[in-house]
Structure 1
Amino acid sequence: MTIWIDIVKSILTALVSLALISSAAAQSLPGGFVYLRDIDPTIIQDIRYATSNNFVGKPLNGYAAGECVVKRDVGLRLKAVQQELAAQNLSLKMFDCYRPVRASLDMVAWAQNGRETVAERRYNPKIPKTELFRLGYIASRSQHSTGAALDLTLVDLKADNSARIDPARAYADCTGPVEARAPEGSVDMGTGYDCTDLKGHTAARSITPEQRAWRNRLVAAMARQGFVNYSKEWWHFSLPGAGGAAYDFPIQPRRN
């Protein structure tokens, strides 16, 4: 009887070990990538390309989960930024982090499909979408795919950030007043996220002093950790030297 008990225990131990190994394998990411939640779970995430709330109007290929995936060094620097902001009752909010190459190809197909809907025009009210690549707003080979680029904003933790987008509502375009634009649960940077317009340029002159102050605050906080802003997008930052080869692994749900 004792022999059978020992055999059963050995089998159970082996099964538990196999389950743990399988779980770890499912969580493994290539190239030094990590889930940002494993570095700092306090950073707010709204990964827009995993949803229909983006300029393409559907989840992009490769976004099987709304998770921010970053290179470890990038994640540690974001954690440092977040710690500085937390003392000011502010938080980072991530819109996009690592982006699979297949998602960028989805953007290429969208730009060339010959259609422009009212919802799409909210994001690019003045520029035909076929021109977005030439003008540098979208790239078929994105730094995001190397792990070197991020899209983000600031959240005032003292404010009411509860408003959610209503798909049935006709919102103003991304350059409109904040109360008329689609809600993003963040501070007013002068435009919405992914707004392909001169007003979305970081140093745009057509924004209010308060909006400029928020942009400057974000740029300064990120710069203290080595991040560089892209001049045509107030939300886009990259970390020089953090990139390398482009990756195309899909973003999968994170397992605890």
Structure 2
Amino acid sequence: MKRLTAFACLLCIGSIVHADEAPRLSAAKTAAEADLVDIRTLVPDIAEDIKYAGHDNFVGAPVDGYLAPKCLLKRPVAQALARVERDLRAQHMRLKLWDCYRPARAVAHFVRWAHDLSDQRTKAAHYPNLDKRVLLGDYIAPVSGHSRGGTLDLTLQRCDARDAHCHPLDMGTPFDFFDPRAHTDTPDVTPQQRANRQALRKAMERQGFRNYPLEWWHYTWAREPTPHTIYDVPVK
């Protein structure tokens, strides 16, 4: 258990930066200065439900820094994700994106929320089996890999033969469900749910993305352009 906790503290929601080098906060003020691009400039009709831009998330409110429901990523990461989507469409499947680049101020919002033990509004939906006191550290980190622009949260959809209707596959838990059942390889899901998670992982790994094993939805591009730099550019 101690080893698992230590591992979680290093990776948690945001895959903390490499332990041997502290993250540097970029001076970039705009997405262009940070070389962050909107994925829809590459895939105009990619499915998105950017959770932190609205109320349907574990905080229960729009998160600081999300001024628009957009998926921004470092340019080569966006290009790799576009290739994943292209490959999937040949199989009548598609991605659905929940979060991509995450401003540093959004991570600070998460930390403030975790410290507010009186706010239990989202417990039933996001951490029904945990005391909120344990979320900070094991699940919510003070520095997030998302803030580097190389990490994203997503799921997999299956479409009909005409690609007219696409529906998310059953992965066993919702997004941002803080529980061991969200671990990618947990035995506590059905064989079909496990197979769906593996299908997503295989599709992402083919283009160089690596899964964070405690969250089936969480992927980081292995060749991050700025692995020691975080950004605080608003999403807009």
TM range (shorter): 0.7 to 0.9
Q: Secondary structure at the match of 2:96?
A: strand
Q: Aligned residue for 1:92?
A: 95
Kept after mapping to 1: 8 A contact 2:30/2:233: no
Q: Aligned residue for 1:145?
A: 147
1:234 and 2:202 are equivalent in the alignment: no
Separation (CA, whole Å) in 2 of partners of 1:75 and 1:124: 31
Q: Deviations over 1:23-58 (max 9, x none)?
A: xxx985222210110011132111000010000000
With over 3 angstroms needed to count, the CA separation of the structure-2 counterparts of 1:30 and 1:244, relative to structure 1, is farther
With over 3 angstroms needed to count, the CA separation of the structure-2 counterparts of 1:160 and 1:129, relative to structure 1, is farther
Kept after mapping to 1: 8 A contact 2:151/2:220: yes
> How far off is 1:160 after superposition?
9.7
1:249 and 2:200 are equivalent in the alignment: no
Q: Aligned residue for 1:206?
A: 188
Q: Aligned residue for 2:22?
A: none
Q: Deviations over 1:122-169 (max 9, x none)?
A: 10111122211322x22110000011211000112239979xxxxxxx
1:221 and 2:203 are equivalent in the alignment: yes
1:102 and 2:105 are equivalent in the alignment: yes
Separation (CA, whole Å) in 2 of partners of 1:111 and 1:118: 12
Amino acid at match of 2:232: D
Q: Aligned residue for 2:170?
A: 188
Kept after mapping to 2: 8 A contact 1:215/1:234: yes
1:29 and 2:11 are equivalent in the alignment: no
Matches within 5 A, 1:44-123: 44-123=47-126
Amino acid at match of 1:141: V
Kept after mapping to 2: 8 A contact 1:132/1:138: yes
**Runs of 5+ in structure 1 lacking a partner?**
1-25, 163-184
Higher relative contact order (CA 8 A, sep 6+): 2
- What TM-score comes out, normalization by structure 1 length? 0.75
Q: Secondary structure at the match of 1:234?
A: coil
Q: Which one has the largest radius of gyration? A: 1
Kept after mapping to 2: 8 A contact 1:155/1:186: yes
Separation (CA, whole Å) in 1 of partners of 2:57 and 2:234: 18
Separation (CA, whole Å) in 2 of partners of 1:27 and 1:107: 22
Separation (CA, whole Å) in 2 of partners of 1:161 and 1:198: 31
Q: Secondary structure at the match of 1:133?
A: helix
Kept after mapping to 1: 8 A contact 2:104/2:143: yes
Amino acid at match of 1:129: K
- What TM-score comes out, normalization by structure 2 length? 0.81
Separation (CA, whole Å) in 2 of partners of 1:161 and 1:57: 29
**Runs of 5+ in structure 2 lacking a partner?**
1-28
Kept after mapping to 1: 8 A contact 2:117/2:132: no
Q: Aligned residue for 2:135?
A: 132
Displacement over 3 Å in runs of 4+: 159-162
Separation (CA, whole Å) in 2 of partners of 1:48 and 1:238: 18
Kept after mapping to 1: 8 A contact 2:208/2:223: no
Amino acid at match of 2:48: Q
